[in-house]
Amino acid sequence: MDSSAASPFRPLPADKWQWHPSPVPGQIVYVTTRDADGEVNLAPKSWVSMAAFRGPIIGFGCSEQHRTCTNVAVTGRFTLSFPTARQAERAAEVADAPRGSRLAVAALTLEESPMGGAPHLLECPAYADCSLVRTVRFDGGEVFLFGRIELLAMHEELLRLPIREAYARLTPAFFCEPGVIGEMRAGPGKNV
């Protein structure tokens, strides 16, 4: 390989807030938790990922200062509701809304968990009811909370569709950077 050829890559700063565009988008989910008194908290998050098949284990990141983190530490439970791109359009408004009005801003409905954990959002096409297995702390007061999926449920109509059509109906949204939300769509070809 010719080492004198210019590389097409340009280094980005270490500060994620300076990545324009960001090559690392995060799927938007709505996290519901309960506090020690049973009050429900709703918070949009975008740092979510599967972590292990056996469990299965899924996790998400947030600040230690967030009520979400505090509630999970107290109860050991959280539920991730997976919104469509349309349902995630208001995620920034939900995050900025006072706690008591977040559900109204999201225009979504709580449904109690059959597992006794935090409720999920009825209109979202899928949810994962989880129990905390590990909290990893990072510098700057950030944490990643890992949970065992105790129940993964999806709207029944999606389970009856051909797989490509089901993915097209799920249409997840991704937080790319402030003010930018992307949408995954099933395109032509064999893989989604």
pLDDT by residue (tens digit) across 49-91? Answer: 999 999 999 999 999 999 999 999 999 999 999 999 999 989 9
Q: Edge to edge, what strands does the sheet with 40-45 contain?
A: 40-45, 29-34, 77-82, 126-138, 142-154, 57-63, 48-52
Straight-line distance from the first to the last Cα atom of the chain, in angstroms, rounded to the nearest whole number? 34
- Residue 143 CA to residue 64 CA, distance in Å, equals 6
Q: Which of 88, 62, 95, 42 has its CA nearest to residue 181?
A: 88
Q: Which domains does the chain have, with CATH numbers?
A: 24-183 (2.30.110.10)
30: amino acid identity, one letter: Y
Q: Is the pLDDT of residue 145 over 90?
A: yes
Give the model's pLDDT for residue 34. Answer: 96
**b or e along 110-147 (b: 16 or more beta carbons within 10 Å of the residue's beta carbon)?**
beebeeebbbbbebbbbbbbbbbeeeeeeeeebbbbbb
Reported confidence tier of residue 189, pLDDT bands at 50, 70, 90: very low
pLDDT (tens digit per residue) in 146-166: 999 999 999 999 999 999 999
Q: Which SS3 state, helix, strand or coil, does residue 44 take?
A: strand
Q: What is the mean pLDDT of residues 107-119?
A: 93
Structure-block tokens of residue 104: 């109204």
Q: Is the pLDDT of residue 185 over 70?
A: no
CB 50 within 8 A of CB 141: no
Range with the poorest average pLDDT among 17-21, 76-80, 137-141, 144-148: 17-21
